[in-house]
Amino acid sequence: MTDRKIVFYPEEKMILTGEKKTILEASQKAGIAIEATCGGKGTCGKCRVRIQHGAREPLTNVEENFLSSSDVEKGIALACQCRGYGNLEVFVPEKGNELSRKLSLESKKVLLDTDLRKEYLELEKPHVHDFRSDANRLIDGLKGKQINPLQLDVLSTIPFILRENDFKVTAVLAGNELLVVEAGDTRNKIYGVALDIGTTTVVGFLLDLCQGLVIGAASRTNKQNSYGADVISRIQFSNEQDNGLKCLQEDVLSVINEIINELTQQNGIDIGSIYQVLVVGNTVMSHLFLGLSPAALGKSPFIPAFSSMTVIPAYALGLEINHRAQVIVLPNIAGYVGSDTVAALLAVKIDKYTGSAMMIDLGTNGEIALACDGRLYTCSTAAGPAFEGAHIYHGMRAVKGAIEKVRIDKTVTVDVIGNVAPCGICGSGLIDAVSELVKAGIINNNGRIMSQKDLDGKIPEELWHRLRHSSSGQDFVLYYGTTDADDIVLTQRDVRELQMAKASVRAGAEILLKEADIKARDLNAVMLAGAFGSFVRKESILSIGMLPRVDERVVYSVGNAAGEGAILALSSENERNHAQYLARKATHVELSLRADFNRSFRDACAFM
């Protein structure tokens, strides 16, 4: 078999690949992130790339289904389908910059209460009346503090560092553990990184742990995306492919190393000065990060391999920071309620509310928590990744070019992230669009997009012309494209996807209320967490019936609560302990075991 060369642009990254490999498989080997919502099964049409040079095999049936003739003329191909006859040059479209909607925590001041500290020591040199070992001399210099037995790799460096630096050194300690001994006085350099590993996006925050300040933030698409948009596809890939787990772990670690590199370079910081990394993520992401098999999470009763807080040295994972740094993974609550939810609960101080409060985190998964009279309940809804734009015909994540808001009166007005011509619609835009179309009578209570015949003379003419019949049913044109770009439409299938997602969130929320034996009107707060929750209009989310019936005034966004919680837990040992308390305190309600879930779900499907 002869190897073929594929060069990926704009990175200009070259990879040699076997002739049977698709572009997607080659990109995975090359570490190039191509959005592959269905994990390469040929059902999503999201893995579009452009062949810049080279001949390809004929279009597959899947491509014929998803690509228009103008796409084909432009060289657009589906990466999971396309193979080259020889060498190829492939352009992977930029997925936009996510920072604008994700990272609002930069420059945040935090209260320091960390167990991480440095002590500068000027030690007495050995002499004929002082035979103490180097290690004992150092520990004595720490003035009787309880220090755990030293690890061999620390011990092996001490004699050299002491003598090369005239016995003037800095000891870096985390609790009772001596992490590392450094030359000279480095007390003003203590940094940590808080990481929120999302199924779609990984976000990192760099903290100056001397000043108590978030000094940088960076994010990257999770490279695991090319194995599927949701956690189920990742579990399947890990179970079914040789080296699948290793591959997924390497992908997320490489994204994290890129983030840390960017943060340290931008701030002129030595990576060796990062001594702690605090990690949160959904339970599957935490498993993959640690290289633990998520197999048991893929089937009932969805048991995680671990649930307590876990601390491991950076060198065990290959993180490019101080090799002795501590990597702390916050506890998870259940198979589908992870440490990101724990961090979010910590950030919003859910247990401090008087009365009852609900928090809903809508990302690729939908987690819900309810605090009430000292009790805490959680559940996870199979909301699916519709809110991230997956399984939506023109769906995309909330990045530049995504329609994020829609208003409909006599015509349609859209707001687009980055103020550019739109190329798709993200979750908040989708909810707006459906909410507005229901109000305009264009979508009925059952979620059906009405036809031109149904609405003849009943709606403004401009809107009436936007209704179209397509092979998949009725569509509504949200934005007319140009000669170079297609119209952006909302399809009947999109509406059904949203109905399923919103009904599962609503049903989950109703079941938690039932479990706590309270009514929706008893809720003092309904907090929407996550980037999505920050940008969705609350009147739209309420009008499509995604939330229990509450007053609009009690609904509010709490921003990137998981990221904020990770920052708190990194900067304060008390907060970290409190996170563990919250995780232990939570009673998890497994919706798949609830006989009343299906009825609640059915009731919640309609647009009332």
Interface contacts to ligand FES, rule CB under 6 A: 36-38, 40, 42-47, 78, 80
Residue 59 C-beta: closest distance to ligand FES, Å: 13
Residue 34 C-beta: closest distance to ligand FES, Å: 8
Render 496-525 in DSSP notation, one character per residue.
HHHHHHHHHHHHHHHHHHHHHT--GGGEEE
Residue 82 C-beta: closest distance to ligand FES, Å: 9
Q: Which of 275, 118, 119 is closest to 207 using CA atoms?
A: 275
Q: Which of 80, 90, 95 is closest to 47 using CA atoms?
A: 80
Residue closest to ligand FES when measured from CB atoms? 80
Nearer to ligand FES, 362 or 390 (CB): 390
Q: In one letter, which amino acid is 415? A: D
Residue 24 C-beta: closest distance to ligand FES, Å: 6
Residue 23 C-beta: closest distance to ligand FES, Å: 10
Nearer to ligand FES, 102 or 234 (CB): 234
Residue 26 C-beta: closest distance to ligand FES, Å: 14
Are 33 and 224 in contact by the 8 Å Cβ rule? The answer is no
Nearer to ligand FES, 424 or 533 (CB): 424
Residue 399 C-beta: closest distance to ligand FES, Å: 18
CB neighbours of 60 closer than 8 A, spacing ≥ 6?
A: 42, 78, 81, 82
Nearer to ligand FES, 31 or 42 (CB): 42
Half-sphere exposure (Cβ direction) of 549: Cα atoms closer than 13 Å: 4
E strands of 412-518, at which residues? 412-416, 424-425, 467-470, 473-479, 488-491
Q: Rounded to whole angstroms, how far apart are CA atoms 450 and 442?
A: 6
CB neighbours of 34 closer than 8 A, spacing ≥ 6?
A: 23, 24, 27, 47, 49, 79, 92, 225, 226
Nearer to ligand FES, 79 or 426 (CB): 79
Half-sphere exposure (Cβ direction) of 106: Cα atoms closer than 13 Å: 15
Nearer to ligand FES, 45 or 313 (CB): 45
Are 403 and 424 in contact by the 8 Å Cβ rule? The answer is yes
Can you read off the two tokens belonging to residue 587?
A: 């009673």
CA angle 99, 577, 179 (to 5 degrees): 80
Residue 429 C-beta: closest distance to ligand FES, Å: 21
Nearer to ligand FES, 35 or 475 (CB): 35
Q: Rounded to whole angstroms, how far apart are CA atoms 608 and 270?
A: 57
